[in-house]
Amino acid sequence: MSVLTEERLFEPFIDATDGVLCLPAGSDEAEIERLAGLHGLRFPLLHDRGAPLCDQVAASPFAPASSRFGPYCDNITGMNWELPDGRRVRIGERVVKSTTGYDLLRFLLGTVGRYGRPVDYVLRLRPACEESQTFFLRGDPVLLREAAAGILRTSWIHWFDSVDVLEGGEFSSLLRVAVNCPAEECDAYLGFLSGIAARHGLSLDQSPGLPMDGCPDLVIKTSPEVLPDIVQLLSGEYGAKCVGLCYCGVVHVFLPGQNPDSICRIAQALEPGLHAVGGDWSSRHVMPVNPDSPETEWIGKLKKEWNLP
């Protein structure tokens, strides 16, 4: 991972050929769409129309609302970062590349302000097609779970922007599938999902546009197999609104009050089961827990290098 001083900071730019955009970390959805849309491109990982991009990244370090494009850390190729003492450094590149050693960019993206803040991001963009549609399958929760599992087992999953289980709040036993595609392909997606709905006895309707649920208060990383049970538990026992990202096994949890203590209690109650499947949790309202010994040693070297307390 390259780390360069202020003389080599990223300057704002858009490269339509490579599909990358550099802009301030405080930019919102409208600014990103304005710059990328001029070139027929989009940044598909947004989940809040009004929140600054830096807040959205901090809110969901494990994954965004996408089964197709991966997590934020795979779609931010570089950034200008401001250290606590005000110095700014450039981290990463303007193109996607492999790295060796400790991935400093991914580490800093998930530090929630402990080692400074992002100033500018370099975003990996994707082609923007003419049509965006969101499909809703409704019915018995058990049948919705079977339908979601069926979609995940097909090659269609790689063409959907998201496949989400929704429960709690204003949601009521809902499977949501979103797609951005050429206009002539819309009927193919409708036909596929109509077949899924018919086989499982579910109703199907659709609306234009892609969903944005806002910044979650708690993010749970689990396995796709366990995800429906966690969604049911959080919505039933804690009254939470949940969006379960089926492909990557991530649950975005929206809680009333945003109380850090109550968030910690909920997360800690789930911890044993999460760790058993290699999962974890995070919250933008709660500072991360102390790292393990190997990471502690590495962080100590980082602090020394950057003159951090």
Q: Do 115 and 150 fall into the same domain?
A: no
Lowest mean pLDDT among 28-42, 100-114, 147-161: 100-114
Structure confidence by residue, pLDDT tens digits, 25-35: 999 999 999 99
User: At 183, which CATH number?
Assistant: 3.30.70.600
Structure confidence by residue, pLDDT tens digits, 259-285: 899 999 999 999 999 999 989 998 988
Q: Is 54 within a domain?
A: yes
Structure confidence by residue, pLDDT tens digits, 163-182: 999 999 888 889 999 999 99
pLDDT for position 302: 76
Last-in-domain residue among 190, 208, 226? 208
**Mean predicted confidence (pLDDT) in 145-167:** 93
At 111, the pLDDT band (50, 70, 90 cuts) reads confident
Q: Do 119 and 197 fall into the same domain?
A: no
Q: Is 167 within a domain?
A: yes
141-152 helix and 186-200 helix, angle to the nearest 10 degrees:
130
Q: Do 166 and 119 fall into the same domain?
A: no
User: At 270, which CATH number?
Assistant: 3.30.70
Nearest-5° Cα angle at 91, 56 to 308: 90
pLDDT for position 300: 80
Q: Do 22 and 90 fall into the same domain?
A: yes
Number of residues written out for the chain? 309
DSSP letters for the chain = --EE-GGG----EEETTTTEEEEETT--HHHHHHHHHTTTEE-TT---SSS-HHHHHHH-SS--S-SSS--GGGTEEEEEEE-TTS-EEEEE-SS-----S--HHHHHHTSTTTT-EEEEEEEEPEEPPSEEEEEEEES-HHHHHHHHHHHHTSGGGGG-SEEEEEEETTEEEEEEEEEEE-GGGHHHHHHHHHHHHHHHT-EEEEEES-------SEEEE--TTTHHHHHHHHHHHS--EEEEETTTTEEEEE-SS--HHHHHHHHHHHHHHHHHTT-EEE-TTSPPPPPPHHHHHHHHHHHHHTT--
Give the domain extent around 177.
Answer: 131-208
pLDDT for position 209: 94
Q: Do 10 and 90 fall into the same domain?
A: yes
Q: Do 141 and 174 fall into the same domain?
A: yes
At 110, the pLDDT band (50, 70, 90 cuts) reads confident
- Indicate if the pLDDT at residue 1 is higher than 50: no
Could you tell me the CA-to-CA distances from 185 to 148, 180, 190 in Å, in that order?
21, 10, 9
Q: Is 306 within a domain?
A: no
Structure confidence by residue, pLDDT tens digits, 230-264: 999 999 999 999 999 998 899 999 998 778 999 99
Last-in-domain residue among 178, 208, 238? 208
| Higher per-residue pLDDT: 219 or 8 | 219
Q: Is 152 within a domain?
A: yes
At 100, the pLDDT band (50, 70, 90 cuts) reads very low
Q: Do 90 and 149 fall into the same domain?
A: no
Please list, in sequence order, all residues whose beta carbon lies within 8 angstroms of the beta carbon of residue 73, skipping any fewer than 6 positions away: 61, 105, 106, 109, 110
Q: Is 32 within a domain?
A: yes
**Mean predicted confidence (pLDDT) in 52-71:** 80
Q: Is 118 within a domain?
A: yes
Structure confidence by residue, pLDDT tens digits, 181-220: 999 999 999 999 999 999 999 999 999 999 999 999 999 9
Domain count, the chain: 3
Q: Do 13 and 117 fall into the same domain?
A: yes
Percent of the chain with pLDDT over 70: 91
Nearest-5° Cα angle at 208, 256 to 130: 130
Q: Do 178 and 236 fall into the same domain?
A: no
- Indicate if the pLDDT at residue 5 is higher than 70: no
**Mean predicted confidence (pLDDT) in 218-234:** 93
Q: Do 148 and 74 fall into the same domain?
A: no
- Indicate if the pLDDT at residue 292 is higher than 90: no
Round the average pLDDT of the chain to a whole number and report it: 88
**Mean predicted confidence (pLDDT) in 92-117:** 74
| Higher per-residue pLDDT: 66 or 115 | 115
Last-in-domain residue among 154, 185, 208? 208
- Bridge-partner residues for 22, per DSSP? 13, 122
Q: Is 184 within a domain?
A: yes
Q: Do 204 and 227 fall into the same domain?
A: no
DSSP strand pairing (126-127 vs 171-181): unpaired
Q: Do 187 and 231 fall into the same domain?
A: no
Q: Is 21 within a domain?
A: yes
